[in-house]
Amino acid sequence: MRYVDEYRGEAEAQRFANAIRQCVTRPWTLMEICGGQTHSIIRYGIDQLLPPEVSLVHGPGCPVCVTPVELIDRAIALARVPEVIFTSFGDMLRVPGSTTDLLRAKSEGADVRMVYSPLDALGLAQQNPGRQVVFFAIGFETTAPASAMAVWQAAEQGLRNFTVLSAHVLVPPAMEAILSAPDNVVQGFLAAGHVCTVMGTWQYEPIAERFGVPIVVTGFEPLDLLQGLHMVLTALQQHRAGVENQYRRSVRREGNVPAQRLLDRVFEPCDRQWRGIGTIASSGLRLVPALAAFDAERRFDVRSVTAEESPECIAGSILRGIVKPVACPAFGTRCTPERPLGAPMVSSEGACAAYYRYGRTGRAIASTEPRTPRARPRTTPRTSDP
Ligand code: SF4
């Protein structure tokens, strides 16, 4: 039983759309943080239900998209170490590094394996004591607890052949970086329900207060998003800042406290580079010193591998909401899902992939799926966006 039809009703959607049209009296620019929200908005045409005064821009909440090319190159360098079994979620395999990607490295002999969970990678380490198993730990606060659990269990079991390449990132520092930028256009946020299911909403309260913005936590179904948009626009029209929770069926202010405690035991904040955006202070997670033996970058010393982002890919501007994917000169021509130049065109959560897939191109490019498709079971393991 899926319990999703209740959140896709057309009559309710029109009711929220009418309420939004009635409440808006001036231009507003809103950002949905999460790539999953972006895909729902584009897939169901939610942005097209909004009055022309409301502009939606797409945030940095696609973990594949924000993983810098330098870390992809380090992942490829690790995968090419002869004794290494390199494990990753499926959507990282085709993300371009500076010269190649993990899938090509695999075709050239590297032992790269797709896993559905860090615990699958841990199992490989248990089954292959003569090999070194590295897990590419990417994602936001949603996937970090599973990585933390794998490291915790590896430590408890005394496994010496399991490490993680941590690319985990955190949402609140990215929101602060967006709001602090001199060219910021964002006036209100839709925050991601699954991140807040883990972390709660309390982390967003200081951001709303400091920057005077409304932040509404939403789910991912059409009615979740429309209700969240109505809430954030109502707050803006009434000059209210603060955090509101549309996704009450999953999110509590305190979040999942045991998961947060596990994260604190295994990881600590660190400065992290974001693809196309640059380094954001305290926006990443690295292993605490007591668990540094499980850090793949230390064990295999790949930190000397550096790389520059492709000058052709404007993902940074898209991930900060400055422009939309169709503004990229390479969109749909030199950059397609089959031949991607940048991560947002590869990832199942990427904004460029969403625009391409659902025909938001501004020119004739065949969509790979009908405009209003039904949800299909997920078949490729992927990272969880925020
Ligand atoms: S269309 Fe391709 S090259 Fe352009 S921003 Fe998106 S991923 Fe980068």
Q: In a mutational test of the pocket of ligand 1, which residue from 95, 310, 348, 352 has the highest number of ligand atoms less than 8 Å from its CB?
A: 352
- Note whether 172 and 204 are within 8 A (CB): yes
Q: Which amino acid is at 91?
A: D
Ligand 1 atom index nearest CA of 344: 7
Chain centre to alpha carbon of residue 314? 17
- Say what the pLDDT of residue 305 is: 86
- Say what the pLDDT of residue 370 is: 31
315 lines ligand 1 (CB under 6 A): yes
- Say what the pLDDT of residue 374 is: 32
- Say what the pLDDT of residue 2 is: 65
- Cα–Cα distance, 384 to 349 (Å, whole number): 9
- Say what the pLDDT of residue 372 is: 33
Ramachandran class of 321: left when φ > 0, alpha when ψ lies in -120 to 50, beta otherwise: left
State the maximum Cα–Cα separation within the chain, in Å, rounded to a whole number.
66
Sequence-distant (6+) residues with CB within 8 A of 357 are 42, 43, 337, 367, 368, 369
Separation of 83 CA from ligand 1 center, angstroms? Answer: 35
- Say what the pLDDT of residue 186 is: 96
- Cα–Cα distance, 285 to 67 (Å, whole number): 13
- Say what the pLDDT of residue 369 is: 34
- Say what the pLDDT of residue 376 is: 34
- Cα–Cα distance, 138 to 200 (Å, whole number): 20
- Cα–Cα distance, 64 to 384 (Å, whole number): 9
- Say what the pLDDT of residue 189 is: 98
CATH topology of domain 1-386: Rossmann fold (3.40.50)
- Note whether 213 and 240 are within 8 A (CB): no
Tokens of 311: 């000058």
344 lines ligand 1 (CB under 6 A): yes
- Say what the pLDDT of residue 265 is: 98
Separation of 352 CA from ligand 1 center, angstroms? Answer: 6
Q: Give pTM, 2 decimals.
A: 0.89
pLDDT single digits (tens) 38-93: 999 999 999 999 999 999 999 998 888 999 899 999 999 999 999 999 999 998 99
Separation of 150 CA from ligand 1 center, angstroms? Answer: 33
Q: Which amino acid is at 147?
A: S
Q: In a mutational test of the pocket of ligand 1, which residue from 94, 318, 355 has the highest number of ligand atoms less than 8 Å from its CB?
A: 318
- Cα–Cα distance, 327 to 323 (Å, whole number): 6
Please tell me whether residue 140 adopts helix, strand or coil conformation: coil
Q: Which amino acid is at 226?
A: L
- Comparing CA positions, the residue from 119, 154, 118 lying closest to residue 137 is 118
Sequence-distant (6+) residues with CB within 8 A of 347 are 35, 62, 63, 64, 65, 91, 95, 353, 382
- Say what the pLDDT of residue 361 is: 73
Separation of 122 CA from ligand 1 center, angstroms? Answer: 34
The angle formed by the CA atoms of residues 172, 93 and 317, to the nearest 5 degrees, is: 40
Domain locations in the chain as residue ranges: 1-386
- Cα–Cα distance, 280 to 283 (Å, whole number): 6
Separation of 321 CA from ligand 1 center, angstroms? Answer: 14
Q: Which residues of the chain have pLDDT under 70?
A: 1-2, 362-386
346 lines ligand 1 (CB under 6 A): no
314 lines ligand 1 (CB under 6 A): yes
Separation of 214 CA from ligand 1 center, angstroms? Answer: 30
Q: In a mutational test of the pocket of ligand 1, which residue from 57, 101, 314 has the highest number of ligand atoms less than 8 Å from its CB?
A: 314
Ligand 1 atom index nearest CA of 314: 5
Paired residues of 227 in beta bridges: none
Q: What is the CA radius of gyration of the chain?
A: 20
Which residue's CA lies nearest to atom 3 of ligand 1?
A: 313
Please tell me whether residue 166 adopts helix, strand or coil conformation: strand
325 lines ligand 1 (CB under 6 A): yes
335 lines ligand 1 (CB under 6 A): yes
316 lines ligand 1 (CB under 6 A): no
- Cα–Cα distance, 87 to 270 (Å, whole number): 23
- Say what the pLDDT of residue 383 is: 52
- Say what the pLDDT of residue 10 is: 86
Sequence-distant (6+) residues with CB within 8 A of 332 are 326, 356, 361, 363, 365
- Note whether 197 and 166 are within 8 A (CB): no
Ligand 1 atom index nearest CA of 352: 6
Please tell me whether residue 12 adopts helix, strand or coil conformation: helix
386 lines ligand 1 (CB under 6 A): no
313 lines ligand 1 (CB under 6 A): yes
332 lines ligand 1 (CB under 6 A): no
